[in-house]
Structure 1
Amino acid sequence: MPGARIERVVTSGTFSLDGDTWDVENNVWIVGDDHEVVVIDAAHDARAIRATVGSRVVAAIVSTHAHDDHINAAPKLAEETDARILLHLDDRLLWKHTHPGRDPNGYVSDDQRIEVAGTELRVLHTPGHTPGAVCLYAPALGTVFTGDTLFAGGPGATGRSYSHFPTIIRSIRDRLLVLPATTQVHPGHGESTTIGAEAPYLADWIARGH
């Protein structure tokens, strides 16, 4: 059995894009054991995230995409934990909207493996919500962390800059629906679901995406 476990921290703040701002709650996912963790999407409140991490080593802060509500606490958390911030290169322009004076420490690529506590997180490039959106698939945990690509109830929003509806539908069809039906889906907002629970409802979305 893998030594890693999954923890969730829910943080509150705002999301701003294209001149509009909304109040949001974000899921921050922490994967690891008693010694080291990876933080997925450092949103809003570095203090709350740090409180859950405790004295554990943060091996990396991985951003599923660069909308401000998913990255706004990343630099502070990185400074406090000496962790590297990782992002897909295709979201570098979005990143600079929020953090114009600082670059991520590295860029992830499709099919890259990130290891933590003996468990492998596989990077799946799933553009559509943003150009550099990624999901992180942990086969040993039967879990995929989907950011804002897939939620309980359907795909992420594509009505704003840098997004594209047919592209997100292709990403879900080709990269997520091929995972085992029992795979737990842990999104960036809201409650978790499974690939099997979402697949029947996504047939209509896929048809609309052609």
Structure 2
Amino acid sequence: MMGAANIQRLVTSGTFELDGGSWDVDNNIWIVGDDKDVVVFDAAHTAEPIIEAVAGRNVVAVVCTHGHNDHVTVAPELGKALDAPVLLHAADDVLWRMTHPDDEFRAVDDGLVLHAGEVELRALHTPGHSPGSVCWYAPDLGAVFSGDTLFSGGPGATGRSYSDFPTILESISGRLGTLPGPTVVYTGHGDTTTIGDEIVNYDDWVKRGS
């Protein structure tokens, strides 16, 4: 009998590198599914802890929420080790090639649906932090996996190449802001939050960028 759906968090540490800079970061990796089938969100820094956490379950996909190096570090390695496709939105190909010039991924379209056991995950294209940022909504779990689009405290950073603040605001208001307020936001770094706790500050974010 299939076990109950669950969300497992793993944290790995390494560096984020872009525009000639390098920053130490801790990344959240989310493993979502049941005791048979899972989806792995983001392949950050080191493969072995992720493989150990999967614990022999079938990996439906290694999903990269966006193409920054700290979220795709070991994606090809994981895909091969776990016999799973690596998924990324095609708009982040330029970022992917900075880390993996010779490896391929499977392109994600807005609205794509994945299933890990009985868990349904829907792709929401949310550009801004990067052109191909995608959040994944699990309605039955009341959860969204936001990558670096939305954090506890506001939108993801947009001060580097291929980022745009007005675009991330549009993504949050038009896509994430339409989700139920209690939806838990499982972020790419740091603590979880909820859609309702963040969206109430939207007007302040707009003023911050004006």
TM range (shorter): over 0.9
CA distance in 1, matches of 2:166, 2:197: 21
What is the correspondence of 1:4-153 to structure 2 with a 5 Å cutoff? Answer: 4-104=5-105, 106-153=106-153
Gaps of 5+ in 1: none
CA distance in 2, matches of 1:124, 1:209: 24
CA distance in 2, matches of 1:207, 1:143: 28
CA distance in 2, matches of 1:145, 1:55: 23
CA distance in 1, matches of 2:35, 2:148: 28
Gaps of 5+ in 2: none
| Contact map agreement 1:62 1:85 (CA 8 A) in 2 | yes
Which residue does 2:155 correspond to in 1? 155
CA distance in 2, matches of 1:177, 1:3: 28
CA-atom RMSD, angstroms? 1.2
Aligned to 1:83, the other structure's residue is in SS state coil
When normalised by structure 2's length, the TM-score is: 0.96
Question: Which residue identity lines up with residue 44 of structure 2 in the other structure?
Answer: A
CA distance in 2, matches of 1:185, 1:151: 8
The answer to whether structure 1 residue 3 and structure 2 residue 4 are counterparts is yes
When normalised by structure 1's length, the TM-score is: 0.96
Equivalent pairs, count: 208
Aligned to 1:111, the other structure's residue is in SS state coil
Aligned to 2:189, the other structure's residue is in SS state coil
Cα deviation, 1:33-73, whole Å, max 9, x if unaligned, reads 11111000010111001111011011100110000000001
CA distance in 2, matches of 1:201, 1:139: 23
| Contact map agreement 1:96 1:103 (CA 8 A) in 2 | no
Question: Which residue identity lines up with residue 35 of structure 1 in the other structure?
Answer: K
Shift of 1:206: 3.2
Which residue does 1:182 correspond to in 2? 182
| Contact map agreement 1:170 1:209 (CA 8 A) in 2 | no
Aligned to 2:201, the other structure's residue is in SS state helix
CA distance in 2, matches of 1:209, 1:124: 24
Shift of 1:203: 2.1
